[in-house]
Amino acid sequence: MLAVEQLERLEQRRLAIQQSQDRARSAQQRNRLGQFATAAPLALEMLQFARGLLGSQPVRFLDPAIGTGAFYAALLRLWPIARISAAIGFEIDAHYAQPCRRLWRATPLELRCEDFTAAAAPAQQQARVNLLICNPPYVRHHHLQRVDKARLQQRSMQASGVRLSGMAGLYAHFITTAHCWMREDAIAGWLIPSEFMDVNYGHALKHYLLNAVTLLRIHRFDPMQCQFRDALVSSAIVWLRNRKPAPTHQVEFSYGGSLSQPQSRGLATVHQLQPQARWTGYPAALPAARRVTRDVAATTLGALFRIKRGIATGANAFFIMTAAQAAERGIPRECLRPILPSARRLDSDQVPANEDGEPLIAHALWLLDCRLPEVEIRAHYPSLWRYLDEGRAAVGRGYLCARRTPWYAQERREPTAFLCTYMARRRERADADAGRFIFNRSQAIVANSYLMLYPREPLARYIGADPQHARCVWQALKSIGSAAMIAAGRVYGGGLYKLEPRELTAITAPSVAALLNAI
Ligand SMILES: C[S@@+](CC[C@H](N)C(=O)[O-])C[C@H]1O[C@@H](n2cnc3c(N)ncnc32)[C@H](O)[C@@H]1O
C-alpha cells in the first residue's frame, strides 16, 4: 500500500489539478463533454461499498471516464497496491488526461487518452475487469451529433444487445458499451442521473438491468441535495453484478441520506420490477411490508441474532498455531480446526474459503481442538500426546484449563458468517476497529476478540443457503455505522474500547430487519 502521507499528497495535488483544469474551461465546454467531477468523500464511499461486494480478491479496475481520477484515488486508499492487478482509465480530453497521467505515473494506472465508446473491449475474459466504477459524462442526446448517435447505438447493441433509443444520453451508452469489459461476476457502480428511472428512453436500460445482469441496488439521492458543486442534476448510484439474475433475486432500493446511511430502503424482486414503470417511487411505492416500518426501525440485534463471544482457549500461544507449527509438532489434521487471526491481521472484512471451508487468508491459523481422552491420544497420536505432555505443567494448570475436562478441551462453537470485533486497543483506532463486521464465508471459528452472531428465526430462514442473502445481511450490518457502535460500547482507561455481547444486542438494526420483509 502507498504510505498514507503519499496518498494524501497525491490527493491534494489531484484536487488542485481538478480545480485549475475546471477553471480553464468555460461552462459550455465542460457541458459538452460532461466534465463534472465526483466529490472525494462520495468516491471513497462508493469504493468502500464496492470493496464490500468484491471481497478480498485481487482487483482489475476500470474507470471509463476517469477525469483526474477521483475513483482511482479512492481505490488506492482501500486496496493494497499488491492486490491491484490492473487499473485502466479512459479520458477523451487531453486537458484532463495529461495532468492525470503525470500525477499517477508512479502507480499502476494505465491511462488511455481515447474515446471509451470507440475502444475495443478485450476479447479474453482474463483481460477484462472485475471492478468498474464510473461517473460517466452526462451529455444529453440533443448535444450528440446524428452520426455519433447512430454509432453509439450500434456499439451498445454489439456490446450488450441493448437497443437504446435516440433520446438516450451518452451516460446510458457508457453503461451498455461497458458491458463487454466486465468479467463474469464483475461488480459495477455507476453514478448517473436518476432520470433514466422514469423517462421513456430509460426502458431499454432498465430492461438490461433486470435481465442481462444482476441489479444489486439503486441508491437515489434526495434531489435537494445535489452531489455536484457545479452541475444541477438528481443522481443515483446503480450497483450491478455481471451475472444473470436468479429468479428470486431481490433488488435493494434506497433513498436519501447517503449510500451508507440512507433515509429509507426496501427490497423488490426482479419480477415485481417492470422496465416501463416509474422507479423513482421506490422504496416508498413498495408494499408497506417491504419498507422499513416503525417496528423494523426498533428491532435490535438481540432480536435478530444470538450473540456469543468467541472462545477463550486459556492459552492462545499453546492452542493456536500456524500450519507449519502444527506440522512441526506432529498434530494430526483431525485435531485441528481453522480459527481466524485477530481482525487487525485480516486484509479484508470478508473471509473467503476453499472447498473444504478453510479460510483463504494470509495469516491462517489452526486451533488444537481435541476431546479424546489422554490414553487414546497416547495410543494413536504419540506426537500430539508429547506436545500436550509438555504443556501440562504450565498450561494445564492455568485458570481456564484447570477447570476443564480434559484440560485441553476447547469450548464448543459452531462457525457463523457474521462476526463483530469486540475490542479496539487504542482510542484513535476505535473508529476503524470497534464493531467492525466481518463476513466469514469459511468454517473457521474465532477467539474472544470477536463476537459471533448466529441468526435467529426468521432471519435464519431468510438467509437459507443463499450466499447473496447472507451478503445482504452483512451489508445491512455494516450500515449500522461506527458512530452507533461506539456509542453502544465502552471506553476504558488508556483508550481500550470494548463492546460486550449484551451491548451489541441492544443496538437497533432496521436495515437488517427490513430484509425480513422479503420473506
Ligand atoms: C463526469 S466526469 C467524471 C470524471 C471523474 N471520473 C470523476 O468522477 O471525477 C466525465 C469524464 O469523462 C470524460 N469523457 C467524456 N466523454 C468521454 C468519452 N467518450 N470517452 C472517455 N472519456 C470521456 C470527460 O472529459 C470527463 O472528464
Centroid of ligand 1 to alpha carbon of 137 (angstroms): 5
Q: What's the confidence (pLDDT) of residue 207?
A: 97
Q: What's the confidence (pLDDT) of residue 222?
A: 87
CB count, 10 Å around CB of 366?
A: 21
Task: Kindly state if the Cβ of 38 falls inside 6 Å of ligand 1.
Answer: yes
Q: What's the confidence (pLDDT) of residue 337?
A: 96
Residues 288 and 432 in one domain: no
Q: What's the confidence (pLDDT) of residue 1?
A: 59
CA atoms within 13 A on the CB side of 124: 2
Ligand 1: which residue has its CA nearest to atom 19? 115
Site to probe by mutation for ligand 1, drawn from 19, 63, 93 as the one with most ligand atoms within 8 Å of Cβ, is 93
Contacts 24+ apart (CB under 8 A), 19-27: 21/68, 21/95, 21/96, 21/99, 22/230, 24/95, 25/95, 27/230
Decide: pTM greater than 0.75: no
Q: For residue 402, tell me if it sits in a domain.
A: no
Q: What are phi and psi of 44, to 5 degrees?
A: -65, -40
Can you tell me which atom of ligand 1 is nearest the CA of 115? 20
Q: Which residues of 264-273 are buried (b: 16+ CB within 10 A; e: fewer)?
A: bbbbbebeeb
Can you tell me which atom of ligand 1 is nearest the CA of 117? 19
Centroid of ligand 1 to alpha carbon of 178 (angstroms): 14
Q: Which residues constitute the domain of residue 477? A: 304-369+410-516
Q: For residue 269, tell me if it sits in a domain.
A: yes
Q: For residue 404, tell me if it sits in a domain.
A: no
Task: Kindly state if the Cβ of 137 falls inside 6 Å of ligand 1.
Answer: yes
Task: Kindly state if the Cβ of 204 falls inside 6 Å of ligand 1.
Answer: no
**For 410-431, how does the pLDDT look when each residue is reduced to its tens digit (9 = 90+)?**
999 999 999 998 876 654 444 4
Task: Out of 270, 293, 316, pick the residue that ends a domain.
Answer: 293
Q: What's the confidence (pLDDT) of residue 434?
A: 60
Task: Out of 293, 323, 345, pick the residue that ends a domain.
Answer: 293
Task: Kindly state if the Cβ of 63 falls inside 6 Å of ligand 1.
Answer: yes
Q: For residue 400, tell me if it sits in a domain.
A: no
Centroid of ligand 1 to alpha carbon of 58 (angstroms): 25
Task: Kindly state if the Cβ of 93 falls inside 6 Å of ligand 1.
Answer: yes
Q: What's the confidence (pLDDT) of residue 63?
A: 98
Task: Kindly state if the Cβ of 97 falls inside 6 Å of ligand 1.
Answer: no
Centroid of ligand 1 to alpha carbon of 503 (angstroms): 47
For residue 226, pLDDT over 80 is answered with: no
Centroid of ligand 1 to alpha carbon of 185 (angstroms): 25
- Strands 214-220, 182-193: pairing kind: unpaired
Q: For residue 398, tell me if it sits in a domain.
A: no
Can you tell me which atom of ligand 1 is nearest the CA of 43? 8
- Identify the CA nearest to 50 among candidates 475, 501, 486, 412: 475
- Strands 490-491, 497-498: pairing kind: antiparallel
Task: Kindly state if the Cβ of 189 falls inside 6 Å of ligand 1.
Answer: no
Residues 277 and 316 in one domain: no
Residues 338 and 447 in one domain: yes
**For 94-106, how does the pLDDT look when each residue is reduced to its tens digit (9 = 90+)?**
999 999 999 999 9
Residues 59 and 95 in one domain: yes
Ligand 1: which residue has its CA nearest to atom 24? 35
Q: For residue 241, tell me if it sits in a domain.
A: yes
- Bridge partners (DSSP) of residue 365 are 339
Average pLDDT over residues 338-361: 92
Q: What's the confidence (pLDDT) of residue 229?
A: 64
Phi/psi zone of residue 161: left (φ > 0), alpha (ψ -120 to 50 degrees), beta? left
Average pLDDT over residues 161-175: 96
Can you tell me which atom of ligand 1 is nearest the CA of 66? 6
Q: CB burial class (10 A; 0-12, 13-18, 19+) of residue 13? A: middle
Q: What's the confidence (pLDDT) of residue 294?
A: 43
In angstroms, the CA 235 to CA 222 distance is: 8
Residues 324 and 203 in one domain: no
- Strands 264-269, 250-255: pairing kind: antiparallel
Average pLDDT over residues 346-374: 93
What is the distance between the terminal CA atoms of the chain, rounded to a whole angstrom? 42
Average pLDDT over residues 251-274: 87
Average pLDDT over residues 475-481: 84
Contacts of 449 (CB under 8 A, 6+ apart): 310, 342, 343, 421, 422, 423
* Cell numbers describing residue 92: 477523451
- Identify the CA nearest to 219 among candidates 184, 181, 187, 257: 257
In angstroms, the CA 511 to CA 219 distance is: 14
For residue 181, pLDDT over 50 is answered with: yes
* Helix axes 40-54 and 467-478, enclosed angle (nearest 10): 150
Contact 17, 99 (CB under 8 A): yes
CATH of the domain at 279: 3.40.50.150
For residue 486, pLDDT over 80 is answered with: no
Residues 109 and 21 in one domain: yes
- String of DSSP letters for 94-119: HHHHHHHHHHTTTSSEEEE-S-GGGS
Q: What's the confidence (pLDDT) of residue 480?
A: 79
Phi/psi zone of residue 330: left (φ > 0), alpha (ψ -120 to 50 degrees), beta? left
**For 116-129, how does the pLDDT look when each residue is reduced to its tens digit (9 = 90+)?**
999 999 999 999 99
Q: What's the confidence (pLDDT) of residue 189?
A: 97
In angstroms, the CA 92 to CA 87 distance is: 17
Q: pLDDT band for 265, please (50, 70, 90 cuts).
A: confident
What proportion of the chain, given as a percentage, has pLDDT over 70? 92
For residue 371, pLDDT over 60 is answered with: yes
* Cell numbers describing residue 125: 475474459
CB count, 10 Å around CB of 159?
A: 18
**For 62-113, how does the pLDDT look when each residue is reduced to its tens digit (9 = 90+)?**
999 999 999 999 999 999 999 999 999 999 999 999 999 999 999 999 999 9
Average pLDDT over residues 467-481: 86
Task: Kindly state if the Cβ of 92 falls inside 6 Å of ligand 1.
Answer: yes
**What stretches of 18-157 adopt beta strand conformation (E)?**
59-63, 84-90, 109-112, 129-134
Q: pLDDT band for 287, please (50, 70, 90 cuts).
A: low
Count of domains for the chain: 2
For residue 466, pLDDT over 90 is answered with: no
Least-confidence region, from 27-41, 275-289, 291-305, 397-411: 291-305
Q: For residue 69, tell me if it sits in a domain.
A: yes
For residue 302, pLDDT over 80 is answered with: yes
Q: For residue 399, tell me if it sits in a domain.
A: no
Q: What's the confidence (pLDDT) of residue 428?
A: 46
Q: What's the confidence (pLDDT) of residue 479?
A: 80
Average pLDDT over residues 11-18: 96
Max CA pair span of the chain: 86
Question: What is residue 58's three-state secondary structure?
Answer: coil
Ligand 1: which residue has its CA nearest to atom 15? 33
Residues 98 and 198 in one domain: yes
Residues 200 and 316 in one domain: no
Residues 219 and 338 in one domain: no
Host H or E run for residue 306: strand 305-309
Ligand 1: which residue has its CA nearest to atom 26? 35
For residue 442, pLDDT over 60 is answered with: yes
Selected residue with higher pLDDT from 476 and 423: 476
**For 487-514, how does the pLDDT look when each residue is reduced to its tens digit (9 = 90+)?**
777 776 666 778 889 889 988 888 888 7
In angstroms, the CA 175 to CA 159 distance is: 10
Contact 430, 483 (CB under 8 A): no
CB count, 10 Å around CB of 175?
A: 28
Centroid of ligand 1 to alpha carbon of 126 (angstroms): 25
Residues 158 and 283 in one domain: yes
Residues 201 and 318 in one domain: no
Residues 206 and 351 in one domain: no
Task: Out of 293, 327, 359, pick the residue that ends a domain.
Answer: 293
Task: Kindly state if the Cβ of 190 falls inside 6 Å of ligand 1.
Answer: no
Can you tell me which atom of ligand 1 is nearest the CA of 134? 6
* Cell numbers describing residue 48: 468502500
